[in-house]
């Protein structure tokens, strides 16, 4: 038996640097496993099925919804996104941390179902910086970029529902900040029931 792992939920606008920060955290905390979401959107160039996402059809996604196969799901820009439930609970039970990179709608559903989760919001320091990063990716049309910027502004209202806010101005600082959050969360006494029981034995 071990204490269950941390369910870490990371959100923030596309272009916030979530992916880079999450990759750095996974290198630093080998106990973190990444939940691969399922989506009905098309793969972007370079994206691999089963690595970036499980890409699927609307029909298949809706069938899985009827089977209650998702911990959370949302429709973002007319496409479904969801977190397959089984893998998440399996990892937590095995004492491993699981990291979800999902949008706010999904994060709120996770908080509802698993209140012990750790919610982290990552945001660039300004709309201008976000826009420059999105344009620099050369993946989205002007229309898509405008939509992402509008969404980022609207989402600021939700940040206070999160446990931690990381402003990604300087990437290395943002990574250090996020690592500090996880280091502290790992040591919270109220989730270390098993560890405390072992200590009690050792102190007998």
The residues that touch ligand 5GP, with contacts defined as CB under 6 A, are: 14, 37, 41, 72, 74, 76, 81-83, 101-103, 105-106
Phi, psi (degrees; rounded to nearest 5) at 111: -60, -40
CB of 155 to ligand 5GP, least distance (A): 9
Residue closer to ligand 5GP (CB basis): 17 or 82: 82
Q: Which is nearer to ligand 5GP, 114 or 184 (CB)?
A: 114
| Shorter beta-carbon distance to ligand 5GP: residue 62 or 196 | 62
CB of 78 to ligand 5GP, least distance (A): 11
137 CB-contact burial (10 Å; exposed 0-12 / middle 13-18 / buried 19+) = exposed
- Alpha carbons 53 and 49: distance in angstroms, whole number: 6
Task: Give the span between the Cα atoms of 119 and 100, in whole angstroms.
Answer: 10
Task: Name the minimum Å distance from CB 38 to ligand 5GP.
Answer: 7
Nearer Cβ to ligand 5GP, position 163 or 186? 163
- For residue 86, the surrounding DSSP H or E stretch is helix 85-93
CB 26 to ligand 5GP: min, Å: 16
Strand order in the sheet with 97-101: 32-34, 97-101, 7-11, 118-123, 164-167
Distance CA(24)–CA(122), nearest Å, equals 14
Whether the CB-CB separation of 145 and 134 falls below 8 Å is answered with: yes
**Which residue's CB is nearer to ligand 5GP, number 46 or number 190?**
46
In the complex, minimum distance from the CB of residue 139 to ligand 5GP, in angstroms, rounded to a whole number: 9
Residue 155's nearest CA partner among 12, 16, 22 is 12
- Using CB positions, name the residue nearest to ligand 5GP: 106
Nearer of residues 20 and 105 to ligand 5GP, judged by Cβ: 105
Least separation in angstroms between CB 105 and ligand 5GP: 5
Say if CB 81 and CB 73 are below 8 A apart.
Answer: yes
């Amino acid at each position: 038996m071990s204490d269950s792992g941390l369910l870490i939920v990371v959100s923030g606008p596309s272009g916030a640097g979530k992916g880079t920060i999450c990759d750095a955290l996974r290198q630093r905390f080998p106990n973190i496993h990444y939940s691969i979401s399922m989506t009905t959107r098309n793969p972007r160039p370079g994206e691999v099925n089963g690595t970036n996402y499980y890409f699927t059809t609307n029909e298949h996604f809706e069938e899985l919804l009827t089977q209650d196969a998702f911990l959370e799901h949302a429709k973002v820009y007319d496409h479904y996104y969801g977190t397959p439930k089984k893998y998440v609970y399996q990892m937590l039970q095995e004492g491993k941390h699981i990291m979800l990179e999902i949008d706010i709608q999904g994060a709120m559903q996770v908080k509802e179902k698993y209140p012990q989760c750790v919610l982290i919001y990552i945001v660039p320091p300004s709309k201008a910086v976000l826009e420059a990063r999105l344009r620099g990716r050369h993946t989205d049309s002007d229309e898509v970029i405008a939509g992402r910027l509008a969404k980022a502004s609207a989402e600021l209202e939700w940040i206070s529902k999160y446990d931690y806010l990381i402003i990604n101005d300087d990437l290395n600082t943002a990574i250090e900040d996020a690592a500090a959050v996880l280091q502290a969360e790992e040591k919270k006494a109220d989730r270390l029931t098993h560890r405390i029981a072992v200590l009690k034995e050792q102190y007998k």
